[in-house]
């Protein structure tokens, strides 16, 4: 059976995952849904996130996806179990592959995590690391300003550098040796993060890790598509010129965004 990959995210940040998927699986058909009408997810509560993730998944399945990638760390942290209970398709998400990689990389078992408030509060990363690596210490830092800074396009601004430094100081003080970038937006400022956390710290890019996991799965079980069966499609629930600008920032090229309602209006 041919696989159509369905990727959802709170907005267009998940394009960092798409970019990595396209490197590994350039011809595999892909449907994207970015819930820009309700973005961001990182400030929302647990139950609300489960509800949103369920709606996003249904949208993708309804458009032909038969493998789901939760590109949003906040949604992955809150909703993965609920989605796996409800839907029978394979569901990949950004947390587990990042944890795997962090465990593989850490030498002193001192791991740092940065993410949105929802991701950090959920404790999902800590739980996953502790359950698989005894004696590990995990230090987390919510960084609510990094997403708006990236979306403002201030990727090299002095203010961004100062704020990254401020957020990372507690993790640096704890002498972490590995840092998980627990948010789709952070790969765009990976250089600054590396500089401010210290050059010796290993950085885990969750967007790349989940793409590798999907690639392994598809390669092991089914034939990788060599011919595009259809065009990739990129849906968003709200479309503004700013959204298109951010999409370009993330994908590095122009992409046709289509507006789609979740059928839950009015």
CB 74 within 8 A of CB 9: no
Pairing of strands 178-182, 202-205: parallel
**Residue 158 interacts with a second copy (CB under 8 A): yes or no:** yes
| Binding track, positions 206-245, relative to a second copy; x by CB under 8 A | -------------------------------xxxxxxx--
Interface region with a second copy, contact rule CB under 8 A, candidates 41-49, 67-75, 196-204, 249-257: 41-49
Residue 234: phi, psi to the nearest 5? Answer: -125, 105
Q: Is 143 labeled as catalytic in the residue annotation?
A: no
| Binding track, positions 120-139, relative to a second copy; x by CB under 8 A | -x------------------
16, 28, 39, 122: which one contacts a second copy (CB under 8 A)? Answer: 39
Q: What is the CA radius of gyration of the chain?
A: 18
- Tell the smallest beta-carbon distance from residue 148 to a second copy (Å): 5
Interface region with a second copy, contact rule CB under 8 A, candidates 23-31, 39-47, 102-110, 172-180: 39-47
Nearest one of 188, 103, 196 to 141, comparing CA atoms: 196
d(C-alpha 122, C-alpha 180), whole Å:
15
- Tell the smallest beta-carbon distance from residue 213 to a second copy (Å): 28
19, 22, 55, 248: which one contacts a second copy (CB under 8 A)? Answer: 55
Active site residues: 72, 183
Contact residues for a second copy, defined by CB under 8 A: 36-39, 43-45, 48, 51, 54-55, 58, 117-118, 121, 144-145, 147-149, 151-152, 158-159, 162-163, 166, 237-243, 264-266
């Amino acid at each position: 059976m041919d696989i159509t990959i369905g990727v959802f995210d709170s907005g267009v940040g998940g394009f960092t995952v798409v970019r990595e998927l396209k490197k590994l699986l350039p011809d595999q058909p892909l449907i994207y849904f970015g819930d820009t009408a309700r973005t961001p997810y990182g400030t929302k509560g647990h139950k609300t996130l489960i509800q949103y993730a369920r709606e996003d998944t249904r949208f993708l399945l309804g458009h032909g996806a038969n493998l789901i990638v939760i590109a949003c760390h906040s949604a992955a942290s809150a909703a993965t179990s609920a989605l796996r209970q409800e839907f029978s398709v394979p569901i990949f998400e950004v947390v587990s592959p990042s944890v795997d990689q962090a465990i593989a990389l850490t030498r002193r078992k001192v791991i740092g995590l940065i993410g949105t408030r929802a991701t950090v509060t959920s404790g999902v990363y800590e739980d996953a690391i502790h359950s698989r690596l005894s004696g590990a210490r995990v230090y987390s830092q919510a960084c609510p300003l990094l997403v708006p800074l990236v979306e403002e396009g201030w990727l090299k601004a002095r203010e961004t550098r100062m704020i990254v430094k401020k957020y990372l100081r507690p993790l640096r003080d704890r002498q972490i040796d590995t840092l998980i970038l627990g948010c789709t937006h952070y790969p765009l400022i990976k250089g600054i993060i590396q500089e401010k956390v210290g050059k010796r710290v290993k950085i885990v890019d969750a967007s790349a890790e989940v793409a590798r996991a999907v690639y392994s799965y598809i390669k092991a079980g089914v034939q990788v598509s060599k011919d595009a069966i259809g065009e990739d499609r990129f849906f968003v629930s709200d479309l503004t010129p700013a959204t298109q600008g951010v999409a370009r920032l993330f994908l590095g090229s122009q992409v046709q965004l289509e507006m789609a309602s979740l059928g839950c209006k009015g």
